[in-house]
Structure 1
């Protein structure tokens, strides 16, 4: 009875973690399938190639958490029901330790990798795919004409401002959403001025300002993910450390009880 009382909290915790792993995998799948919601550039979800890795990583983390929790549940069941079989207890314990350590290492490594990978920016192939997506989704031709006046900047999204119009310091004159006339004093200091083209398939999609907008969105999203994941890892480490302390204390108590019984037959 005492064995059940001592190990029931651990069993309940692992069952709760099994339940928690299910929505984690669902969230990962949702992120993997709905990149357009995060990037907010249209139904095609431009830039989603970068985001898909986050969703896939969360799915793997949820699956590994479920495996860890199942092994932990088996271990606690063995402690309650099979305490007379030390070999089985030892085997289940080390399975639990190995899977827990793997889960922590995977989460930590994945978080560091995604943050480092995002800071490197877009490679040429990925940016070409993003450009193609933006052209297909017509993000630069969906302005409402009534907003295109002297307060144009107030009605543009960050992506439209960075990718659909030339930089203000270029000195271009606005004629229509896809027609800007270059003045005599075009700035040579800003390379985006020469990258601009009135062609709807070119516009400012090759501009550094356009790439910077996407890079900024990716960095913000990955930083939020990283903070949440690091917090989750910290909680797991604390919980696992507390479990090891509790196990050691439980073993010490059991050993003292056994010694006491032997000393007083």
Structure 2
């Protein structure tokens, strides 16, 4: 157990190094936040996460290396809440991304997305006009739809080739009209009116203007939800691994904390405190 101080010091030094690029990324985003609305959602979480990891890591590192009981107590106290918060986020992420997935379309490789397939807190958040205006602005600024363009012999690729493409949720939901609307393919982001159903409100929302497209469509919102679900599930898997590492570090930290208290009380490692403070009075 005497090696626990050294081990907790090494672990916290590694997490301290990890906090530097996270904090630097948040600061970099803050300098570019005026370019697009969506970047404003990213800067503060990264900065807060980076600062928390940095401060807690330094506290644990100093407490373990200098055998400071107060610093180790603060470190364990903060680490407990970080573990609890991370566990809560993992549960929350799985709950809010439980429902919804893409639907397969006949003679198409890509899936299409419908807002009615999703429900709950995340759907309500995306549907909120104030949030959606910023999210749609982010999609436009990313030029995701323009990046879909492909040419064959200097002309747009044939419709049959496009239908076999494996589009991601944003490309499928925001950059083209729903298949049931019956629009005729000209290129990836330019479709002319054809024969199809009009029961889907997205059919009337499609606009060939490159700043319009289907950014106001429910299918675009559903595509965002599908992307968020995929991303959050990946992040949750990573968070589970991080949670396991934090729990192991916390257990080692508890051992280091007990070591520090034993040393502060001048207790021999192999001798219990009760034996030292209350020696036997019976002498035969």
TM-score by length of 1: 0.68
| Structure 1 residue 160 displacement after superposition | 2.9
CA contact (8 A) 1:165 1:203 kept: yes
Cα 1:8/1:205, change in 2 over 3 Å? same
Alignment map for 1:66-105 (pairs within 5 Å) = 66-79=54-67, 89=69, 91-105=70-84
- Does residue 148 (structure 1) correspond to residue 153 (structure 2)? The answer is no
- 1:162 pairs, out of 169, 173, 184, with 173
Aligned pair count reads 238
| Structure 1 residue 166 displacement after superposition | 1.4
Can you give the 5+ residue segments of structure 1 that lack an aligned partner in the other structure? 1-5, 35-43, 80-87
Structure 2 partner of 1:124: 129
Q: Which has the higher contact order (CA 8 A, sep 6+)?
A: 2
Can you give the 5+ residue segments of structure 2 that lack an aligned partner in the other structure? 30-34, 97-120, 263-269
Cα 1:92/1:7, change in 2 over 3 Å? farther
Aligned-partner SS, 1:180? strand
- Once the two structures are superposed, residues 206-259 of structure 1 have per-residue CA deviations (whole angstroms, 9 ceiling, x without a partner) of 122222222222222222222322332233234423553676699584415525
Once structures 1 and 2 are overlaid, which stretch shifts more, 200-209 or 103-112? 103-112
Aligned CA-pair RMSD:
3.9
Distance in 2 (CA, whole Å) between partners of 1:203 and 1:135 is 10
Distance in 2 (CA, whole Å) between partners of 1:175 and 1:126 is 32
Cα 1:57/1:21, change in 2 over 3 Å? farther
CA contact (8 A) 1:61 1:107 kept: no
Distance in 2 (CA, whole Å) between partners of 1:145 and 1:237 is 52
Greater share of residues in helix:
1
CA contact (8 A) 2:177 2:206 kept: yes
Distance in 2 (CA, whole Å) between partners of 1:137 and 1:197 is 18
CA contact (8 A) 2:8 2:252 kept: no
CA contact (8 A) 1:21 1:63 kept: no
Alignment map for 1:6-17 (pairs within 5 Å) = 6-17=1-12
- Does residue 218 (structure 1) correspond to residue 197 (structure 2)? The answer is no
CA contact (8 A) 1:24 1:58 kept: no
Aligned-partner SS, 2:207? coil
Distance in 1 (CA, whole Å) between partners of 2:122 and 2:27 is 17
Alignment map for 1:1-265 (pairs within 5 Å) = 6-27=1-22, 29-30=24-25, 48-50=39-41, 52=42, 56-79=44-67, 89=69, 91-109=70-88, 116=96, 118=122, 120-122=124-126, 123-136=128-141, 138-142=143-147, 143-146=149-152, 147-149=156-158, 150-155=160-165, 157-158=167-168, 159-184=170-195, 186-241=196-251, 243-244=253-254, 251=262, 253-255=271-273, 258=276
CA contact (8 A) 1:163 1:203 kept: yes
Aligned-partner SS, 1:258? helix
